[in-house]
A and B are shown apart, each in its own frame.
Chain A
């Protein structure tokens, strides 16, 4: 039993420099060692799933692209694949290849971003500056190919919105070559730099059994030796036509997660070359109906952070009846508590960062049945609550005129 008197409770979050998004880790410390961690989600719930039910499929595509700023293409593609499956649409092969190209470029920018964040968390800001400088190459390439650096809006129901001209291929090739050189340098750095090895090795241990038991996905699970990758296990787009290796590692620690991500980058460069070489001719989209027939589908997608799952239920109208997003971070948060066991406070930022968390993507509200502290409110009740809240503070809402609202 930890001695209650000698533990210090440190609130890491909801506002803390180590966290890019609001999230709460209540850490009990004994000296520098962590004795327990209480994790709390829910500071950044945006109600996107509910919002999707109010919008048409095309509008949802843009809304879901904004689930995450990093893996925006992942969420949009995962959703649109589910809708296309319900509608029975077969998209052109060229559209599949363009989707894959954007997906793999997104993986590059996500992994390079992660590398920089990891460097920053262990106080190695030089690595942050270098890797984010290199990341600019791929960001600019996005601007060139899609018109946007983030939220590329390449997908549309039945294909993609923009074609990629053959004249652009050499430029993509050039940038991929440059990034491959840089990645080789980072791999060498990770293998040889002494302080980096000291800060990463043995930190945030997650055994293979625990990774599988706690449902870890993506690089987090692959670094623990769990060989799973949706691109190979359940190929979507045209991944079955590409030749690639799934990178795994058996270090089971933050160092392993770094090695896996850097190795995946090398695979991604080779995949982009294959995509450019094999890119078929043809149309980029098929005509799609506005109303989707009733049905349901689950779509799996290997986002840079791990498997992203979208569930869509259609009811024959132009709006979905239910959209459910399972972002990779939700699957990985369970394992964070395990990784932090018996760790040091100093390692907490890098351990949390090592799953490449995206908290606002994963945030959801939970109501526990029969729990006295958990309370749910319906729409009417919420309106009443708002009216009461303002009235108590001396504001009379009945005198405020809302334009276009005749009943007021």
Chain B
């Protein structure tokens, strides 16, 4: 890969610009679907972009007691990590931009960074609401992150590779094996709800309890970039789940392949929107309990299933 094409793929496609555009579009789909499911009209298509631009023009306030460098850098880190992760995920073909053996671990690592940035941003802003939100965010990480790891580890075991591209290629070659991973798919979706801090796992930013959680003290363009980071994280998370658990249409021509990819991601986003329509917010203790007593065992069951299937094949 030449330097020119590398810069292009990092900054334009499938990197920064594409991800931002898709992220904003994804937010629109989520909000519109959520609204329609609740019998509301919902926003127009440009609303996420309008919100973003409006926030960019708003005043930036940094609390006096806040640790200024951390407070400033947290949104940038969150966004950068999400954008970096997309480079290792195969989108419309069986290879990503920069595939290597072990990129699954790197992507999972990069996807924790936004949550850590939320924690640091909330923790350093020194407001009680932000501090409580930050602690809830970091408590939640331990509840959903391990089931997510295990759920993604299971398909990797069966494919016998640590590379997402390798996993996609393996399931592309054995399309019916995706049915084996259905439990893991469910676990990954539930974990994604936690990662994106959506109902029923939105305790870290529970509006009626702690105002906006970690983001309480954020305003202006820093808040805009935090929100953009969450949008991008949603797309990256959905892409990751789609690449591992929905291995369809990988051998198609690029144009058709991109359409199939968009459809897969929108399908995952649709399920996430549906789930957040259906439930009430769980308390943090109930959330942790649910993740450890229900979600994690299912994830381990998936590992067992895949080990057995691997022996059989």
Contact = CB atoms under 8 A, between A and B. Distances in A.
A8 B134 CA distance: 14
Interface in A108-137: 119-127, 129-130, 133
Contact of A17 (B203, B208, B285): B208
A349 B208 contact: yes
Interface string A1-25: 0000000111100001110000000
Contact of A8 (B132, B211, B277): B132
A199 interface: yes
How many chain B residues sit at the interface, stated as a range, is 20 to 34
A195 B132 contact: no
Nearest to A344: B283
B29 to A, nearest CB: 18
Interface stretch (B35-43, B151-159, B232-240): B35-43
B280 interface: yes
Interface in B282-296: 282-286
A345 interface: yes
Given A8-B132, A195-B200, A126 B208 contact: no
B128 A9 contact: yes
B101 interface: no
Contact of B199 (A121, A123, A130, A344): A123
B202 interface: yes
B36 to A, nearest CB: 11
Contact of A10 (B132, B277, B282): B132
Contacts of A345: 132, 209-210
A349 B211 CA distance: 11
B310 interface: no
B206 interface: yes
Contact of B128 (A11, A17, A199): A11
A359 to B, nearest CB: 16
A126 B283 contact: no
A239 B30 CA distance: 49
A253 interface: no
B196 to A, nearest CB: 14
Interface residues of A, number: 32
A17 B207 contact: yes
A8 B280 contact: no
Majority secondary structure of chain A interface residues (helix, strand, loop or mixed): helix
A18 to B, nearest CB: 4
A398 interface: no
Nearest to B201: A123
Nearest to B35: A129
Contacts of B284: 32, 346
Contact of B39 (A123, A133, A198): A133
B175 to A, nearest CB: 35
B54 interface: no
A32 B285 contact: yes
Given A8-B128, A129-B39, A16 B282 contact: no
Contacts of B132: 8, 10, 29, 345
Interface in A46-64: none
29 contacts: A8-B128, A9-B128, A10-B210, A17-B207, A17-B208, A32-B284, A121-B208, A122-B208, A122-B280, A123-B207, A124-B199, A124-B279, A124-B280, A124-B281, A125-B38, A125-B199, A126-B277, A127-B280, A129-B38, A129-B39, A133-B39, A195-B280, A195-B281, A198-B282, A199-B283, A345-B209, A346-B203, A346-B209, A347-B283
In order of increasing CB-CB distance, the 10 nearest A-B pairs are: A123-B281, A124-B280, A129-B38, A18-B208, A349-B208, A195-B280, A346-B283, A195-B279, A122-B280, A121-B208
